Amino acid sequence: MFWKLLLAHFITDFVLQTKNIAKNKTNFKLNFIHCLTFLIIASIFIINEFTFINILVIIIISIFHGLIDFMKAKFEPKIHNKLNWVWFLTDQILHILIIIIVLSIFKDFFYSDLMDNVVYFLSTNNLFKFFTFFIIITFGGSFFTASVCKNLIPKINDNNSLENAGKYIGILERIIVATSIIIGRFEIIGFLIAAKSIIRYQNTTDESFTEYFLIGTFTSLIWAAGFTFLFLRIA
């Protein structure tokens, strides 16, 4: 159930969350819609395990999900822009901790030895585990890279850029990196970095944008590589 709830959380936060909801978490209606999305997805994932306790678990997690997002939206304007990535990671860690805490209270997952149960969590539900890491590596990487680069965006005038092109290029990039690591062909990653660097240097004379581009690229690669190695360690 842990991996099912975690996957539901990441789909809600990284795939289905609109920009309007992301920017207006203090709005009760939008926050409620966001939490309801998690509730529906989690309910679908555990549809064959419907019990009063399980329903209560996902309702409580949904409520805390909204509270965490509300508090983040309330205090985020007071945080310096350079700490956006720290704020992003803290927010996600809190969401994951809530899932673990609620499960431990209502499902007795930690009734004996803590580490034995952690190992059990990480070694079960392989399909949900795979899709959880896929969402983290692809869409989660987009949010993390954006949070790192948010305060570094240079001033450019380019009306020919495709809408959301950078986001989808990044997703494809992280899929390539993850696949390269899984199959053990690390030279593909080197080729990817070299190709992107050559293309960027050939198409801009703006040094600040080149630096911004490379910072985003390396942040994206580090995120993909890190979570792929983590996935392989617990697979």
What is the C-alpha separation between 79 and 108, in angstroms, rounded? 37
- What residue ranges do the domains of the chain occupy? 2-122, 147-234
| Coil, strand or helix at 81 | helix
**pTM, rounded to two decimals:** 0.65
For residue range 24-43, list pLDDT tens digits in order.
888 999 999 999 999 999 99
CB 224 within 8 A of CB 141: yes
Higher pLDDT among residues 198 and 100, named by residue = 100
What is the C-alpha separation between 186 and 133, in angstroms, rounded? 19
For residue range 82-91, list pLDDT tens digits in order.
567 777 888 8
Q: Which helix (H) or strand (E) holds 204?
A: none
b/e 209-233 (16+ beta carbons within 10 angstroms → b): bbebbeebbebbbebbbebbeebee
For residue range 116-168, list pLDDT tens digits in order.
555 554 555 567 777 788 888 877 877 777 777 766 665 555 555 545 556 66
Phi/psi at 203 (nearest 5 deg)?
Answer: -115, 10
Phi/psi at 27 (nearest 5 deg)?
Answer: -80, 120
Locate tokens 């050559």: which residue?
A: 198
Quick one: what percent of the chain has pLDDT higher than 70? 70
For 101-112, what is the mean pLDDT?
A: 71
Quick one: what percent of the chain has pLDDT higher than 90? 19
Least confident of 53-62, 107-116, 119-128, 185-194: 107-116
For residue 235, the model assigns a pLDDT of 56
